[in-house]
Amino acid sequence: MIRAFIALPLPENVKEELLRVSSTLRKTMDARWVRLEAMHLTMKFLGDIDEENIEGMSKKLDELSELYQPFSMSLCGLGAFPSPKRARVVWAGVDADVSRLRNLAASIDDMSSDYGIAKEGRPFTAHVTLARLREPSMINLDVRIEKITFIIDTMHFYKSDLTPQGARYTLLHSSPFTGKPGG
């Protein structure tokens, strides 16, 4: 068994802006901060999966990605789950074609359920996790985030190993978005 997830990778300039924002926020909250190399937009956390499913899931992800053209996105502010008044997770939002992203997330959800992975119980919210607070806290997110526009042209299938220094991600497979309009 391996711990795995599916995500959209971020360009370096976007990760550097998120690191700048994190460095500013770091001064005001006690949290575990996501390292630059680990920043991504999660589409589906799979949890523990059987290693023998990697090849089949990778093929299914390739089939899905062929239906979608690359996504244009931009950073669009900060938020917290469940709310800034009782934050557990600090995140950066992305502005994109939300219906296309939700369709992709639903397709990934359907595909992964074929492998015994539970479907999501809540609607997909596109975000990049920046930090996980040690205790639920009221936080101030009054930090300017530069609205960088970027293109996502692939999705990645990752293995996640938990270490005392935080999660370490290994790329298992990449699926480029090559698709047809309306995907």
Give how many domains the chain has, as a whole number.
Answer: 1
pLDDT for residue 164? 82
pLDDT for residue 179? 83
Range of the domain at 27: 2-176
pLDDT higher than 80, residue 11: yes
Establish if 135 belongs to a structural domain.
yes
pLDDT band at 23 (very low <50, low <70, confident <90, very high): very high
Q: How far apart are alpha carbons 159 and 142 in whole angstroms?
A: 34
Establish if 142 belongs to a structural domain.
yes
What's the gap between Cα 23 and its chain centre?
20
DSSP string, 56-124: HHHHHHHHHHTT-PPEEEEEEEEEEES-GGGEEEEEEEEES-HHHHHHHHHHHHHHHHTTTPPPPSS--
Q: How far apart are alpha carbons 75 and 69 in whole angstroms?
A: 19
pLDDT for residue 165? 77
Establish if 181 belongs to a structural domain.
no
The 3 state secondary structure assigned to 121-175 is: CCCCCCEEEEEEEEEEECCCCCCCCCCCEEEECEEEEEEEEEECCEEEEEEEEEE
59-110 residue pLDDT tens: 999 999 999 999 999 999 999 999 999 999 999 999 998 889 999 999 999 9
Q: What are phi and psi of 177, to 5 degrees?
A: -80, 115
Establish if 100 belongs to a structural domain.
yes
Establish if 95 belongs to a structural domain.
yes
Establish if 31 belongs to a structural domain.
yes
Establish if 8 belongs to a structural domain.
yes
pLDDT band at 182 (very low <50, low <70, confident <90, very high): very low
For the residues 138-144, what does the mean pLDDT come to? Answer: 92
Q: How far apart are alpha carbons 7 and 88 in whole angstroms?
A: 21
Residue type, 133: L
pLDDT higher than 50, residue 33: yes
Establish if 182 belongs to a structural domain.
no
pLDDT higher than 80, residue 166: no
pTM of the predicted structure, to 2 decimals: 0.91
pLDDT band at 121 (very low <50, low <70, confident <90, very high): confident
pLDDT band at 155 (very low <50, low <70, confident <90, very high): very high
Domain at 108, CATH number:
3.90.1140.10
pLDDT for residue 167? 83
